[in-house]
Amino acid sequence: MRLFHFECGLTVPRRRAEVFAFFADAANLQTMTPGWVDFRILTPGPIVLRAGALLDYRIRVHGIPLRWRTEITLWEPPFRFVDTQLKGPYSVWRHEHTFEETAEGTVCGDRVTYRPRGGWLIDRLFVRRDIDRIFDFRRRCLAEIFRCGA
């Protein structure tokens, strides 16, 4: 089955080290996730993100409660990190977070490679729309936290 790709980015007027530190705090993931996902971290804190770290969550997908487990498979502070789903709603989920410092601040980039269970029809009907909404919320949330135009 085919893989799908999603990319987006936002420039925030802050130094890379500060922005990366915000993302390195797993508790902030809940802050950046819309309420309708009902996202809850199940892994006991404090969570130290590093290569090999495992994170367990609970989410709701169209009202259906699901467990999600990810592993930090790449950890290169303050440049990038990757979380990969081990168990959850996708047959493949790999999310690369990148942080590029520019004259305007830091570009926070997201590159997601995924394969929904059910293939392209499920992606077309539900998944891509949900991913767009989640990352739009995230963009607006980060713009507010770091006080920038979105």
Mean pLDDT value of segment 81-97: 96
The model's pTM:
0.92
pLDDT digits (tens, 9 = 90+) for 94-124: 999 999 999 999 999 999 999 998 878 788 8
pLDDT for res 13: 95
Tokens found for residue 103: 């004259």
Torsion angle defined by CA atoms of residues 126, 128, 133 and 139, in that order, rounded to the nearest 10 degrees: 160
**Amino acid found at 74:** L
pLDDT digits (tens, 9 = 90+) for 63-80: 899 999 999 999 999 999
Taken in order of first residue, the domains within the chain and their CATH numbers are: 4-145 (3.30.530.20)
Handedness of CA 29, 31, 34, 36 (dihedral sign): positive
